[in-house]
Chain A
């Protein structure tokens, strides 16, 4: 079974600084998808960034980028120029590719990392 581990329960960063959130996962699949989701306090979960395992190039979305190390099964999120609005709980998630009609679209989440951006 696939598992996702986020070893940093809480982190803090000064506004405008850079912070990296860690995520490791375990799978025997060769093709899969990885995601980072952001859940602000009392607000709904939104997708930050996604990575397809077959792509060697690391995904980037504005101030957000990932360091995807497939062999090490590591998928970290780097937030540059941190802003107060980045304060949220961040979840790393794994999704298997489709295999017929079984378990399609199931997200497996880590425990989350609470990020506090300080002014």
Chain B
């Protein structure tokens, strides 16, 4: 079975632009979470979606938004990009959204803002 997939792998954007990152969960998984990992640091939680509803939001500005589709795939949107948004964006899927269930991570999207 395919694992969590993310696209694109790498992305270079200019300050002020907008970006959309995509994630496909493992088949059968209904929960998707997004994390931001700045180089050399631990991932920071951005959003969790379960059954197409937002179930959790981290301490990120409103420039960050996400959604989950009926097939459980998800998009993360970031508007008005800042240099500080440069990071590895990780998507993780889990069977359900409840605490304790293992989260499986994708390879990430490396976003560089210039």
Of B43, B56, B58, the contact of A102 (CB 8 Å cutoff): B56
Tell me the bound Cα distance from A98 to B55 in angstroms. 11
- B side interface size, CB within 8 A: 31
Interface size class of A (residues with CB under 8 A): 20 to 34
Decide: A44 and B105 in contact? CB cutoff 8 A: yes
Question: In A65-114, which residues have CB < 8 Å from any B CB?
Answer: 91, 93, 95-98, 101-112
Decide: A105 and B105 in contact? CB cutoff 8 A: no
Of A4, A95, A103, A111, the contact of B100 (CB 8 Å cutoff): A95
Question: In B42-79, which residues have CB < 8 Å from any A CB?
Answer: 42-45, 48, 50, 53, 55-56, 58
**Sorted from nearest, which 10 A-B pairs have the closest CB atoms?**
A109-B42, A45-B105, A97-B99, A44-B107, A98-B99, A104-B97, A98-B98, A103-B56, A33-B100, A106-B45
**B23 contacts across to A, CB distance below 8 A:** none
Question: Measuring CB to CB, which residues of chain A are less than 8 angstroms from any residue of chain B?
Answer: 4, 32-33, 37, 43-47, 50, 52, 91, 93, 95-98, 101-112
- Across the interface, name the chain A residue whose C-beta is closest to B97: A104
Decide: A105 and B99 in contact? CB cutoff 8 A: yes
**A45 contacts across to B, CB distance below 8 A:** 43, 90, 105
Decide: B42 and A104 in contact? CB cutoff 8 A: no
B58–chain A nearest beta-carbon distance, Å:
7
How would residues 78 to 100 of chain B score, 1 for a CB under 8 Å from any chain A CB and 0 otherwise? 00000000000010101001111
Tell me the bound Cα distance from A89 to B101 in angstroms. 22
**B100 contacts across to A, CB distance below 8 A:** 33, 52, 95, 97-98
Of B42, B55, B98, B107, the contact of A112 (CB 8 Å cutoff): B42
Decide: A105 and B33 in contact? CB cutoff 8 A: yes
Decide: A104 and B56 in contact? CB cutoff 8 A: yes
- Across the interface, name the chain A residue whose C-beta is closest to B105: A45
B103 at the interface (CB under 8 A from A): yes
Of B31, B41, B44, B102, the contact of A50 (CB 8 Å cutoff): B102
**B99 contacts across to A, CB distance below 8 A:** 32-33, 95-98, 104-105
